[in-house]
Amino acid sequence: MATEEPPYTVTLTEGSFEIREYPSLIAAEVIVTGPRNEAVNAGFRLLAGYIFGGNTTRQSIAMTSPVTQTPKENEKIAMTAPVTQSGDELGWTVRFIMPKGYTLNTLPIPNDPKVKLVALEPTRVAVVKFSGLAKEPDIIEHTQQLKQFMLEKKLVAAGSETLARYDPPWTLWFLRRNELMIKCL
């Protein structure tokens, strides 16, 4: 059975690069600190606790894909998206998009106060797709490639890169599907 993914429209494809438009979505997110891999694991556990019944109604919520991780940025308004680099004192935002059909009013309230439910505005992102384990050197290289693609297309970045991991940890490394996304204007 396929895991639900958030809907989007592709407006441009060039090799492993895409420009996508996402509609408004609802997400469950946590902010965690530490190196990227430790942070995503800690964030995943907190979010999995929520969707596997760690909420006021003990309701299970279907798992979706991908799990995203963004370096937290220093913002002057309430946080609704991106995060920063490994080891940054601000931390990482780890996020699950909620399955379609849910609203902020119909989702059960998380038992853990670290888990926040947020409404995400419609957004346009530049994306680069790649396979493998998404190790730090790969992330840095693909982020640079994505920024170069954006420069060539005259797109302005509106936040940090977001790493999207689509597969469970038991997936063979060469079959893993990853993406880096940058919100753009």
pTM of the model as a whole: 0.87
Q: Is the pLDDT of residue 142 over 50?
A: yes
Instruction: Calculate mean pLDDT across residues 54-72.
Output: 94
pLDDT score of 85: 30
Q: Cβ of 42: how many Cβ atoms within 10 Å?
A: 17
Reported as a single tens digit per residue, the pLDDT across 79-115 is 333 332 333 557 999 999 999 999 999 999 999 999 9
Burial class (CB in 10 A: 0-12, 13-18, 19+), 102: middle
Spell out the residues 6+ positions from residue 170 whose beta carbon is closer than 8 angstroms to its own: none
Which homologous superfamily is 9-184 in?
A: Regulatory factor, effector binding domain (3.20.80.10)
Residues 51 and 104 sit within 8 Å (Cβ to Cβ): no
Intra-chain end-to-end CA distance of the chain, in Å? 36
What does R_g of the chain's alpha carbons equal in angstroms? 16
Reported as a single tens digit per residue, the pLDDT across 1-59 is 578 999 999 999 999 999 999 999 999 999 999 999 999 999 999 999 999 999 999 99
pLDDT score of 168: 87
Residues 147 and 166 sit within 8 Å (Cβ to Cβ): no
List, in sequence order, every beta strand (DSSP E) within 7-66.
9-14, 17-22, 25-32
Spell out the residues 6+ positions from residue 72 whose beta carbon is closer than 8 angstroms to its own: 31, 79, 82, 83, 84, 88, 90, 91, 92, 93
Residue-by-residue DSSP string for 146-163: HHHHHHHTTPPEEEEEEE
Residues 28 and 104 sit within 8 Å (Cβ to Cβ): no
- Nearest residue to 181 via CA among 89, 68, 94: 68
